[in-house]
């Protein structure tokens, strides 16, 4: 569906994107990952023809960009915002028209989507009167109403409550079943891991890792100890035989140094905290991400809940 070859872009002598190549197929969720400033948004903007690349090619089904391909793309930008004073239905209709839909078809589709998200009653209200979650739903509708073949979602789950996250995930999965190509752009690795089929990890404008999620994880082998525990886990940061640790509130992922024995490690951990669950698994994407772009320091992630 989308093929990007050797894409380059720099701003005022700083290189934002340095020769990126990737392909997104239909029926696939493609994770475009990387820390802030890695070049994700710049890449997306070039795919969307908001920015003109300095070099490289972007093709849709083998065709270069044109006004016609423009209408086949849907976009949910990272920074949300629609016209605050605009009415819900009119806003959706406006953006649908901008994507080349006829007004009558747009009306039918808008009503279907609004009903799907439980927003039919809010059609006549101003956007600013809606809750943040509902505003995000409207924004999502704006991105997909014209039934695009390629959907680009930039941090779609940021700021969403768990209920809305599930609604969005279901909507994305449905798109996937309908053979749409989806680019899912995030720095939240756990989201990417659960949703993406394949991925590409950017750092400082370059691809540092790519492949299917399964393949990538396999390549790193089963050398990660995923534990859930109760107690003060701070001592885990200093354990020998661990080359990297990602610690959550009551869980941790420990990447073993080659040759370290998991059994010994578990015994020592058990001395400090009460282990509730332990698994030896492939590293999480988060851990791989940290290994590739982090600086080797222990990472403490203050989120609630466990790893999975």
* Site of interaction with another protein (CB under 8 A): 45, 48-51, 67, 70-71, 73, 75, 77-86, 90, 94-95, 97-100, 142-143
User: Which CB atom, from 25 or from 84, has the smaller least distance to another protein?
Assistant: 84
User: Which CB atom, from 51 or from 300, has the smaller least distance to another protein?
Assistant: 51
CB of 35 to another protein, least distance (A): 20
User: Which CB atom, from 130 or from 254, has the smaller least distance to another protein?
Assistant: 130
Nearest to 187 by CA among 14, 24, 20, 41: 41
User: Which CB atom, from 139 or from 284, has the smaller least distance to another protein?
Assistant: 139
CB of 117 to another protein, least distance (A): 18
User: Which CB atom, from 81 or from 259, has the smaller least distance to another protein?
Assistant: 81
Is 113 in a helix, a strand, or coil? helix
**Token pair of 269 as six digits:** 């951990």
Pairing relationship of beta strands 274-281 and 181-186 according to DSSP bridges: unpaired
CB of 48 to another protein, least distance (A): 4
CB of 83 to another protein, least distance (A): 7
Cβ-based neighbours of 112, under 8 Å, separated by 6 or more = none
Alpha-carbon gap, residue 197 to 216, rounded angstroms: 11
CB of 150 to another protein, least distance (A): 11
User: Which CB atom, from 67 or from 124, has the smaller least distance to another protein?
Assistant: 67
Q: Determine the Cα angle at 300 with ends 213 and 78, to 5°.
A: 55
Q: Where are the alpha helices (DSSP H) in the chain?
A: 40-47, 67-70, 88-98, 103-116, 132-144, 162-177, 189-195, 213-219, 262-272, 285-293
Give Cα separations from 244 to 194, 232, 257, 258 (angstroms).
22, 18, 8, 12
CB of 94 to another protein, least distance (A): 5
């Amino acid at each position: 569906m989308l093929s990007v070859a050797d894409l380059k872009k720099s701003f005022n002598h700083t290189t934002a994107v340095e020769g990126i190549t990737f392909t997104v197929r239909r029926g696939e969720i493609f994770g475009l990952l990387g820390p802030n400033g890695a070049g994700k948004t710049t890449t997306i903007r070039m795919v969307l023809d908001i920015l003109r690349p300095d070099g490289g090619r972007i093709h849709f089904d083998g065709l270069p960009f044109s006004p016609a391909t423009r209408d086949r793309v849907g976009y949910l930008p990272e920074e949300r915002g629609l016209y605050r004073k605009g009415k819900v239905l009119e806003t959706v209709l406006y953006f649908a028209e901008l994507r080349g839909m006829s007004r009558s078809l747009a009306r039918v589709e808008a009503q279907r989507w609004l009903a799907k998200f439980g927003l039919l009653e809010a059609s006549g209200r101003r956007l600013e009167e809606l809750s943040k979650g509902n505003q995000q739903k409207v924004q999502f509708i704006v991105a997909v109403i014209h039934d695009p073949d390629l959907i680009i979602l930039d941090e779609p789950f940021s700021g969403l409550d768990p209920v809305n996250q599930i609604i969005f995930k279901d909507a994305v999965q449905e798109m996937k079943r309908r053979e749409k190509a989806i680019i899912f752009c995030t720095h939240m690795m756990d989201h990417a891991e659960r949703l993406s089929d394949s991925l590409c990890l950017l750092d400082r404008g370059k691809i540092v890792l790519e492949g299917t999620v399964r393949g990538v994880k396999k390549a790193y082998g089963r050398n990660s100890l995923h534990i859930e525990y109760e107690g003060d886990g701070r001592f885990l940061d200093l354990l020998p035989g661990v080359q990297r640790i990602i610690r959550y509130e009551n869980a941790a992922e420990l990447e073993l140094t080659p040759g370290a024995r998991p059994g010994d490690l578990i015994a020592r951990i058990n001395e400090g905290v009460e282990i509730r669950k332990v698994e030896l698994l492939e590293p999480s994407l988060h851990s791989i991400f940290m290994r590739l772009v982090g600086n080797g320091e222990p990472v403490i992630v203050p989120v609630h809940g466990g790893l999975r």
